[in-house]
Amino acid sequence: MRTNLLHRFSFALLVGLPLSAVNLACEQPCGDCRLSNLEWDVVQTLSPLPAVPVDPTNKYQFNDAAARFGQRLFFDKRYSGAIRVPNNGSNGGPGLLVGTKQGTMTSTSAGQVACVSCHDSKKYFVDTRSVPGNVSLGTAYTVRHSPTVVNLPYYKWWGVGGRHDSMWMQASLSPEAGTDTSSDRCKYAHFIWQYHRDEYNSIFTETPLPAELDPSHPNAARFPALCRPKANAMAPDGPWEKMPAEDKREIMQIMANQGKAVVAYENKLISGNALFDKYVAGDEAAMSVAAIRGLRLFVGKAACIDCHNTALFSDSLNHNLGVPQEGLNVPKEDLGHFLDVGIWLGHPFNSASAFSDDPSVNKVAGVVQKEEYKGRFRTPSLRGIALTFPYMHTGNFNTLSDVLWFYNDGGGASSYSGQKSDRLRPLLLTDDEIADLIEFLEALTGEPIPDQWTCDPAPGSTVSCPTP
Ligand code: HEC
Ligand code: HEC
């Protein structure tokens, strides 16, 4: 409903309704920076950022002890698998090394990568090591660039291609992801027992760690050191396939619980009250005249609001902009949402699964993989956008100016998968209008995340968190 409404608004603005009453008076002489009633109505749908929405599938979402534990896990590198890409900077970017923070490492070293390696807490949780444009490097190259993990709870689907139907679904198997931390679910369970068992058991009182994780337990063989599922159906059965269902469930419970704790942490990473929000709340001087002109373009001539709407500046839907599959280590093809939607249908951690705290939420009911999803990616939030370069799923646009010129040309022209959205068309924006839009986007940078959530709580870290 809302999208349609906004669509109508931006269409009305495009065809040039008269600017009647003025809601916000500019102190400076501003030419065309005053908002009409209609514009003002639309602008108010973009602010303020509301309270974090409740996710009934994760009962630990607002548990502070779980959030602190999740923060520890987010920074902890000890469970990660071996790095499979030599750290020789061969992909060109200055500082494009997982080892930037960890010092020298070899291509075979394990225990060197954590979530924070690609979602840098000091850089608005993005990977800025990859400039100029590139996909991220964990234990190997990913096929996409790392998005920020700030303001995530406001999305309806997660992942760059709409891959996850909850935030904890992402975090639950992420430690095993082959390009991120390349770990193993059994190795992870042993890691939790070795380093975090008291904290874990104090939070997950209903599902404590099984006693057999203790290496001195007579039945310690119940959980092997490694048990990653076999790579494909044709491969011979490995430890995971041979494990009794109940033992598998125990391991999966640990992965789900830790994932929910990581999400409790991610729920603390909220950044609102940008200059734009202050402006909408009545502080007329909060935004420059150029930024206000940019805002009018955003909801009008440039029609950005067609997709970048709600207080998140994202419709949470997937669109194909024709972003070229080009750049260092960027794969030649990426089917986007078409590929990603297939992953969560029937996924052991989806909202309808046995590990969901409210399977009735069942977001996956009725969802199917459609041809038209090819090459579509989820609309990213634009809050904090000045800080989250490089841009697009390929990380191939280094500046907001690059992005704006891409839109001005009507999106991409070649080297993309699927059909480009018919909503994109040449915008005929002038250089000055593009500069105004950029100034507006810069006014979307919110308040910094409090230090207590960006500091490194891992033992032995150089910049550790203060003791509470
Ligand atoms: C290689 C570096 C790398 C590491 C390590 C890594 N990520 Fe990511 N992360 C990415 C990339 C790339 C994406 C985009 C993948 C996609 O959605 O297709 C992503 C996506 C995400 C998303 C989805 C964000 C959104 O906008 O919906 C979340 C949440 C996330 N990561 C959290 C984590 C957590 C938690 C960990 C640690 C368990 C982690 N990441 C480890 C690179 C990394
Ligand atoms: C048809 C829907 C749509 C419209 C209209 C649209 N966007 Fe986007 N925007 C997206 C999608 C989808 C992406 C991610 C595309 C990708 O990575 O392949 C995106 C990405 C971006 C990014 C990069 C974000 C990041 O974190 O990498 C910026 C900046 C941006 N858009 C700004 C704008 C502006 C400014 C306008 C108006 C000129 C606009 N968008 C119009 C859907 C849209």
pLDDT at 107 over 50: no
Residue 276 to residues 282, 307, 348, 382, 383, Cα–Cα distance (Å): 10, 18, 41, 12, 10
**Nearest bound ligand to the CA of residue 392:** 2
- Cα 51 to averaged position of ligand 2 atoms, centre (Å): 24
What percent of the chain stands above pLDDT 90? 69
**Nearest bound ligand to the CA of residue 149:** 1
Q: What local confidence, expressed as pLDDT, does residue 31 receive?
A: 63
Whether 6 is in the pocket of ligand 2, judged by its Cβ within 6 Å, is no
Whether 330 is in the pocket of ligand 2, judged by its Cβ within 6 Å, is no
pLDDT digits (tens, 9 = 90+) for 346-401: 889 999 999 999 999 988 888 899 999 999 999 999 999 999 998 999 988 989 99
Q: What local confidence, expressed as pLDDT, does residue 463 receive?
A: 61
Contact between 68 and 457 under an 8 Å Cβ cutoff? The reply is: yes
Whether 173 is in the pocket of ligand 1, judged by its Cβ within 6 Å, is no
User: Residue 105, class by beta-carbon neighbours within 10 Å (0-12 exposed, 13-18 middle, 19+ buried)?
Assistant: middle
- Cα 153 to averaged position of ligand 1 atoms, centre (Å): 14
pLDDT at 24 over 70: no
- Cα 238 to averaged position of ligand 1 atoms, centre (Å): 27
- Cα 189 to averaged position of ligand 2 atoms, centre (Å): 39
- Cα 183 to averaged position of ligand 1 atoms, centre (Å): 14
- Measured from the CA of 144, which atom of ligand 1 is nearest? 12
State the chain's mean pLDDT as an integer.
87
pLDDT at 424 over 90: yes
Which is more confident, 466 or 189? 189
Mean pLDDT of the region 161-168? 94
Q: What local confidence, expressed as pLDDT, does residue 135 receive?
A: 75
pLDDT digits (tens, 9 = 90+) for 55-67: 999 999 999 999 9
- Cα 158 to averaged position of ligand 2 atoms, centre (Å): 16
Choose which residue among 392, 393, 421 to substitute to test ligand 2 binding: the one with the highest number of ligand atoms within 8 A of its C-beta: 392
Whether 314 is in the pocket of ligand 1, judged by its Cβ within 6 Å, is no
Choose which residue among 58, 74, 97, 149 to substitute to test ligand 1 binding: the one with the highest number of ligand atoms within 8 A of its C-beta: 149
Which is more confident, 354 or 107? 354
- Cα 151 to averaged position of ligand 2 atoms, centre (Å): 17
Name which residue sits closest to atom 37 of ligand 2, judged by CA.
304
Question: Hey, what are 365's tokens?
Answer: 């009911």
- Measured from the CA of 393, which atom of ligand 2 is nearest? 17
Q: In which band, very low, low, confident or very high, does the pLDDT at 12 lie, cut at 50, 70 and 90?
A: very low
Whether 130 is in the pocket of ligand 1, judged by its Cβ within 6 Å, is no
- Measured from the CA of 160, which atom of ligand 2 is nearest? 17
pLDDT digits (tens, 9 = 90+) for 76-106: 999 988 776 654 444 433 333 433 333 334 4
pLDDT at 18 over 80: no
Amino acid at the residue 179: T
Q: In which band, very low, low, confident or very high, does the pLDDT at 460 lie, cut at 50, 70 and 90?
A: low
Choose which residue among 91, 127, 142, 377 to substitute to test ligand 1 binding: the one with the highest number of ligand atoms within 8 A of its C-beta: 142
Whether 251 is in the pocket of ligand 1, judged by its Cβ within 6 Å, is no
Mean pLDDT of the region 416-435? 97
User: Residue 98, class by beta-carbon neighbours within 10 Å (0-12 exposed, 13-18 middle, 19+ buried)?
Assistant: buried
Residue 429 to residues 10, 371, 406, 425, Cα–Cα distance (Å): 16, 33, 11, 11
Listed as own residue / partner, the contacts of 94-99 with beta carbons closer than 8 Å and 24 or more positions apart are 94/131, 95/129, 96/129, 96/130, 96/134, 96/137, 97/129, 97/137, 98/137, 98/138, 98/139
Any idea what the Cα angle at residue 269 is, between residues 268 and 273, rounded to 5°?
105
Q: In which band, very low, low, confident or very high, does the pLDDT at 30 lie, cut at 50, 70 and 90?
A: low
